[in-house]
Copies of this chain bind each other. A is one copy, B any other.
Amino acid sequence: MAELTLESLAKQIGVSRSTISRVINGSPNVSPEVREKVLKAIQATGFHPNAAARSLASQRSWMIGLVLPRSVASFFRDPYFPQLTQGIAYSCNDHDLSLSLFLVANKKDEEKILPRLTRSGMLDGVLVQSGEVGDKFISQLTKSNLPTVVMGRPWEPESVTYIDVDNVTSAANATRYLIGLGYQRIATITGNMSSTVSIDRLEGYRKGLSASGRKFLADLVAEGDFTESSGYQSMKKLLPSKPDAVFCASDIMAVGAIRAINEAGLTIPGDIALVGFDDIPMGSLTTMQLTTVRQPIIQFGIKAVELLIDLIEKGSKPARRMILDTELIVRESCGAMQLSSNHLGE
């Protein structure tokens, strides 16, 4: 088949290429009859405008990037990220955007990818996962002219647009909930403390304690790194301190903690109560019904895309901030089910 272009199509149906361009781009300045005729021709020929030519002329690519910096190496270990990616991808479909995925493996990738992102005009904007404190790569991105939405609180939030959940309040609420259930020695397993999300959740844990007049005890805190095995190791470190409850900064670490608790011959929630964070689908991970702070992961992705679209269309300034709500989902592992039956309807 001959190359199908605006020009050739235009000749076929006897209009100018501008007219076809107008109907494709939804311009109101086309008469109904002509629009009908053009639409029919497009349908019949299966014409689709050339993306490169379109981008070049309009200075818009209709493509956004999803960037996972090197510091987010756990990326495809934690079910959180695949879910997030799914939310983002579906949202892109709904908005007729294409999604480009950049997984940064190493320093060399960073150097190759950064200029491609910021200077090639390939993308209208990017979504980048907040990584470690001090990550140069992310700050170079936010300082560039490319519309950028950071997912998770950035290290230096000044004048950068980001979306996050309220980790501090969520963690404080979870901790206070455990206190309310009567637990005395509430421990926490944190993520790696080089990330803002871990800092925030630990901060929430502290606040939850102090709001109820409890002391913060260093030997009831263990640092993990958002992997299952770190949850397991951290729990083993905590056991000698005899906690009767543990707030885990992620579900996947809670799964590791469960393993350590079981191995020690202890029961949940009888000996140790547990609360996680995320509410990832646990079907395959453990049979324990985990009480957890639910993050609206899919929604997070959807909102992130919409925030980015807003940035692209209305400019990056002023920086915007969107904080999504979480919800404490009470299940077996915190022991509340045994104390009351009020929550059984969950």
Contacts and interface: CB of A to CB of B under 8 A. Distances in A.
Contact of A50 (B79, B103, B120): B120
- Among A89, A100, A116, A229, find the residue whose CB has the most chain B CB atoms closer than 10 A: A89
A281 B77 contact: yes
A254 to B, nearest CB: 10
Interface string A103-146: 11100010011011011111000000000000000000000000
B93 A113 contact: yes
Interface residues of A, number: 58
A317 B50 CA distance: 25
B122 A103 contact: no
A55 B122 CA distance: 10
A71 B61 CA distance: 29
Contact of A52 (B46, B90, B121): B121
Interface in A236-266: 252, 255-256, 259
A284 B285 contact: yes
A101 interface: yes
A82 interface: yes
A90 B119 contact: no
A218 interface: no
A338 interface: no
Contact of A103 (B52, B89, B281, B284): B89
A322 interface: no
A229 to B, nearest CB: 6
Contacts of A119: 4, 46-48
Nearest to A231: B284
Nearest to A61: B52
A8 interface: no
Contacts of A93: 103-105, 109, 112-113
Interface in A209-229: 227-229
Nearest to A56: B52
A51 B83 CA distance: 30
A313 interface: no
Contacts of A81: 82
A331 B148 CA distance: 47
A100 B100 contact: yes
Contact of A100 (B77, B99, B120): B99
5 contacts: A75-B86, A76-B85, A99-B101, A252-B284, A256-B284
Given A90-B103, A99-B102, A100-B100, 4 more contacts: A47-B119, A89-B105, A98-B100, A229-B283
Interface of A: 4, 46-56, 61, 63, 66, 75-77, 79, 81-83, 85-86, 89-90, 93, 96, 98-105, 109, 112-113, 115-116, 118-122, 227-229, 252, 255-256, 259, 281, 283-285, 287
